[in-house]
């Protein structure tokens, strides 16, 4: 397996972060297809739908409480995770937290 040069990996990460931050916000009452949104927005760093560590931590069975996860999604972590406050409403972030809490190992 070839390793991706650091510059390419960094530019891919930057592109994902820029896309996430420029996403058009949905209406306050808008629901999202959480698994699909997670795969397209979060799956680059949180592998296997959040079930395994990747560039970001495994989210399944996270010891962090819901408020911490909600805050991290909203405000990000400098140098590690973009903020999604402008991309998702509070209700949508709650849906993402609920998705994370419901994660179970995939069968098969």
pLDDT in tens, the chain (108 residues): 444 444 434 444 444 454 444 444 444 556 789 999 999 999 999 999 999 999 999 999 999 999 999 999 999 999 999 999 999 999 999 999 999 999 999 886
Per-residue confidence (pLDDT) for residue 103, from 0 to 100 = 95
Per-residue confidence (pLDDT) for residue 50, from 0 to 100 = 95
Distances (CA, A) of 26 to 18, 29, 42, 58, 92: 17, 8, 17, 27, 9
Nearest alpha carbon to residue 68 among 35, 32, 93, 42: 93
Residue 16 phi, psi dihedral angles, 5° rounding? -65, -45
N-terminal to C-terminal alpha carbon distance within the chain? 24
Per-residue confidence (pLDDT) for residue 31, from 0 to 100 = 76
Residue 77, SS3? strand
| CA angle 59–64–45, rounded 5-degree value | 30
Beta pairing partners, 77: 81
Per-residue confidence (pLDDT) for residue 14, from 0 to 100 = 46
Tokens of 38: 């997670």
108 close to 46: Cβ distance less than 8 angstroms:
no
Per-residue confidence (pLDDT) for residue 23, from 0 to 100 = 47
């Amino acid at each position: 397996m070839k390793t991706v040069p650091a510059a390419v990996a960094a530019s891919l990460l930057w592109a994902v972060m820029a896309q996430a931050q420029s996403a058009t916000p949905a209406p306050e009452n808008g629901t999202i297809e959480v698994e699909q949104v997670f795969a397209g927005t979060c799956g680059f760093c949180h592998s296997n739908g959040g079930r395994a560590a990747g560039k970001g931590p495994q989210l399944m069975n996270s010891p962090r409480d819901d408020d911490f996860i909600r805050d991290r999604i909203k405000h990000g972590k400098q140098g590690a995770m973009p903020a999604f406050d402008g991309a998702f409403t509070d209700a949508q972030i709650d849906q993402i937290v609920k998705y994370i809490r419901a994660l179970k190992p995939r069968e098969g």
